[in-house]
Amino acid sequence: MGKAPPAPESTLAQSFSEAFGYEASGVWSAPGRVNLIGEHTDYNAGLCLPIALPQRTYAAVRLRPDRHLRLRSLQSSQQYELELDDVCAGNPPGWGAYAAGVLWALETAGHQARGLDVMVDGRVPVGAGLSSSAALECAVAAAASDLLDLELLSDDRVRARLAAICVNAENTIAQAPTGGMDQSASLRCQDGHALLLDCRDGTVAQVPFDPSTQGLSLLVMDTRTEHTLVDGQYAQRRSSCQQAARQLGLPSLREVAFDDLNESLDRLPDNQIRARAKHVVTEIERVRQIVALLRAGRLPDVGPLFNASHASMRDDFEISCPELDLAVEVATAHGALGARMTGGGFGGSAIALVPADSTAAVTSAVIQAFADRGFGTPNCFAVTAGGPARRESKPDTPGPCSFQAGSGG
């Protein structure tokens, strides 16, 4: 599980200066997420329960006087230089879409934007289903909000508006038809809590989540198998759900009462659509049950609900893959209380709730099982619930002036 990476703010500010020839105005950061439960429920106006990860994306940023954008990343050789007025669906391509898209979306929402110089240090694993793209959007959005004096970070109500702006950037400019959970998690989660997000009206509740207090740990198992949301599978699931709701005469599958599930499913003629609807409705119910257990201090009891969620995604929603199934199966066989894939699916990561003293054993068993099956080595690491997008404190620069800022700084 390695050592924690060094605090990146000062090295990133330094890289910014080297690249652009002047100093950044500051460094902002935003976290990736894992979703504890409630998968593919966000675009069904349902419930989900993400936590923010300790892994974050950092952006050193300076506002420009013009409408020019220069985007660089420590992780990519792809650099961008473009005018804000040239940002549109599909342009720029690649990672730049998530950063530039945010400025476009701010203007679309009625805010006056300007050009930025941006240097990114993305520390959320890419393609792992841990929302590295939302972390990038939200880090840039946090910087833009501060530098343009938009005040879209000051409380949860305005953070919800900023999250919607980031979703528009992702849907329209990056052209990924995602549902909005990731950006809400990145902007609205709080340290030590899971975020109960009601996607029907955007309201949230903070649910305490600290497995260490019960001798447990939350293990992320990144299978390192291909995961992309821009391909057709995610959009297909989304459209099947809309079709199911339409056939039931409802605005969304959220409106199907769990107690009436069988009766509703009987009214859906197509087997596949019925299975998709069943996943969504049962998954929303599992969110409710897990939230009740967490609030009652009964974290160990969520295990079977994790397992049921995974089975539902494997069999009914059909978004798992052999690597995810193997990670879940081996983790539970070696002492995890429950495990499930997390995120969009078709690769990416699974999570397991494990007794803290079994974390190493579960990790080795999963790595060994992957080797035995000829799969690549998974990346397993324990996570805690982190905080939301924020401006980082000024870097402690070495040298005679590096005193801790006192009051008034």
Which residues of the shown chain bind ligand GLA in the complex (CB under 6 A)? 35, 39-40, 42-43, 178-182, 229, 343-344
Give the Cα separation of 306 and 395 in Å (integer): 40
> Of 60 and 165, which CB lies nearer to ligand GLA in the complex structure?
165
Q: In terms of CB distance, is 334 or 340 closer to ligand GLA?
A: 340
Full 3-state SS string of the chain: CCCCCCCCHHHHHHHHHHHHCCCCCEEEEEEEEEECCCCCCHHHCCEECEEEEEEEEEEEEEECCCCEEEEEECCEEEEEEEEHHHCECCECCCCHHHHHHHHHHHHHCCCCCCCEEEEEEECCCCCCCCCHHHHHHHHHHHHHHHHCCCCCCCCHHHHHHHHHHHHHHHHHHCCCCCCCHHHHHHHHCCCCEEEEEECCCCCEEEEECCHHHHCEEEEEEECCCCCCCCCHHHHHHHHHHHHHHHHCCCCCHHHCCHHHHHHHHHCCCCHHHHHHHHHHHHHHHHHHHHHHHHHCCCHHHHHHHHHHHHHHHHHHCCCCCHHHHHHHHHHHHCCCCEEEECCCCCCCEEEEEEEHHHHHHHHHHHHHHHHHCCCCCCEEEEECCECCCEECCCCCCCCCCCCCCCCCC
How far is Cα 319 from Cα 218, in angstroms, rounded to an integer?
A: 22
Active site residue 259: no
Q: How far is the CB of 26 from ligand GLA (least distance, A)?
A: 28
Among residues 42, 182, 222, 316, the one annotated as catalytic is 182
Residue 126 CB, shortest distance to ligand GLA, in Å, is: 13
CB of 340 to ligand GLA, least distance (A): 11
Cβ proximity to ligand GLA, 87 vs 199, nearer residue: 199
Q: Which is nearer to ligand GLA, 35 or 332 (CB)?
A: 35
Nearest distance from C-beta of residue 42 to ligand GLA, angstroms: 5
Shortest distance, CB of residue 182 to ligand GLA, whole angstroms?
5
Rounded to whole angstroms, how far apart are CA atoms 108 and 37? 32
- CA gap 253, 241 in Å, rounded: 7
CB of residue 393 to ligand GLA, shortest distance in Å = 30
The smaller minimum CB distance to ligand GLA, of residues 114 and 238, is found at: 238
The residue among 47, 24, 22, 26 whose CA lies nearest residue 37 is 47
Comparing CB distances to ligand GLA, the nearer of 146 and 182 is 182
Residue number with CB closer to ligand GLA (96 or 180)? 180
Shortest reach from residue 238's CB to ligand GLA, in Å: 8
Amino acid letter for position 41 = T
Which residues are catalytic, by number? 182
